[in-house]
Amino acid sequence: MATSSPRKSTIVRARAVRLLGVLSWIAPSSAAYLASRLWFAIPSPSPASPGAANGVPFQVSVDGYLVRGALEGGDGPTVYLVHGWAGDSRQLAPLVGPLVAAGLRVVAYDGPSHGRSDPGPSGPGRSHAVEFADALAAVASVHGPARAVVAHSMGAMASMLALRQGRLSAERLVFVAPMHDLRSHLDQFAAGLSLGPRARRRLDASLEARVGMRVEDFELLGMAERVGTPPLLVVHDRNDRRLAWAASGELVDRWPHARLLTTEGLGHSRLLGDRAVHEEIVRFVSS
């Protein structure tokens, strides 16, 4: 049986993008609908550490679907580990041992349509930040207030959404390579699809209707102004090719009681397995 080559897949995608760009001018509503389908689709999972975190498995029902995770540690303060888009709890598993050794209770789970959890309201292979926030809030409602939330990439945005909704409390926050806003990513996404201005306006309206929030409402600093600014540690690699390190510098500059830990050569995800990063996170959470 024939298989598609990477070159063939690239050609097919390029043709699809060109067709969508043309469609955005002659049928902007249809183009916006197709673009929104792509926006909510989860890409191939990010590389994960082998095996899942040890601990006691649990599941929490959220709007009729199950979020699954594991609890490890004794009766110490609780730390929630929140993975990012197209990731799962295995990426954060290397951090569980050091946190438990420091006397902390660690709760790790998979977001909707990710890892071992069920598909969320958006259906199989689809999700968004608000669903991530709902999952975190549901898990926290069972396991209690957080000493700290350690969140990677889009998980940082979901954590701030849960805080803004008043469904999560946390004494400290750790954002690892955080996603700072939605607008810049949506701009890049629309440009990559060559969407015309009318299709782009319809896309924004479609996304906002779907999640029940304005695009601007997802900005981390804007949310912080509403919920307060607990002590924050931001860990970001200077050469992260997915999310800009400079944006984390700006976040720390404008966030009281915040510190930026910069790594070199670890990219967007490998820093999750770095021992020196673990030590800094444990020290910050425990202090």
Contact 138/62 with Cβ under 8 angstroms? yes
Please tell me whether residues 145 and 271 are part of one structural domain: yes
Please tell me whether residues 188 and 101 are part of one structural domain: no
The helix or strand, by DSSP H or E, that contains position 130, with its residue range, turns out to be helix 129-143
Domain boundary among 200, 216, 232: 216
At 94, which CATH number? 3.40.50.1820
Return the exposure string of 121-146: e unless at least 16 CB atoms fall within 10 Å of the residue's CB, then b: bbeeebbbbbbbbbbbbbbbeebeeb
Please tell me whether residues 265 and 162 are part of one structural domain: yes
Query: Residue 11's pLDDT is what?
Result: 43
Query: Residue 16's pLDDT is what?
Result: 60
- Whether residue 177 lies inside any domain: the answer is yes
Please tell me whether residues 121 and 172 are part of one structural domain: yes
Domain boundary among 216, 239, 264: 216
- Whether residue 105 lies inside any domain: the answer is yes
Contact 87/114 with Cβ under 8 angstroms? yes
- Whether residue 81 lies inside any domain: the answer is yes
Please tell me whether residues 105 and 123 are part of one structural domain: yes
Please tell me whether residues 87 and 205 are part of one structural domain: no
- Whether residue 147 lies inside any domain: the answer is yes
Task: Give the single-character DSSP code of 242.
Answer: S
- Whether residue 46 lies inside any domain: the answer is no
Number of structural domains in the chain: 2
Residue 24 structural domain: 1-41+182-216
Contact 255/229 with Cβ under 8 angstroms? yes
Please tell me whether residues 167 and 195 are part of one structural domain: no
Contact 76/104 with Cβ under 8 angstroms? yes
Contact 143/71 with Cβ under 8 angstroms? yes
Domain boundary among 190, 216, 242: 216
Please tell me whether residues 187 and 168 are part of one structural domain: no
Contact 37/203 with Cβ under 8 angstroms? no
Tell me which amino acid residue 181 is.
D
Please tell me whether residues 32 and 163 are part of one structural domain: no
pLDDT in tens, the chain (287 residues): 344 444 534 443 555 666 777 777 888 888 899 899 999 999 875 444 444 457 899 999 998 999 999 999 988 999 999 999 999 999 999 999 999 999 999 999 999 999 999 999 999 999 999 999 999 999 999 999 999 999 999 999 999 999 999 999 999 999 999 999 999 999 999 998 889 999 999 999 999 999 999 999 999 999 998 888 999 999 999 999 999 999 999 999 999 999 999 999 999 999 999 999 999 999 999 98
Please tell me whether residues 137 and 241 are part of one structural domain: yes
Query: Residue 42's pLDDT is what?
Result: 93
Tell me which amino acid residue 4 is.
S
Please tell me whether residues 2 and 139 are part of one structural domain: no
- Whether residue 266 lies inside any domain: the answer is yes
Please tell me whether residues 119 and 202 are part of one structural domain: no
How many CA atoms, within 13 angstroms, populate the side-chain half-sphere of residue 240? 24
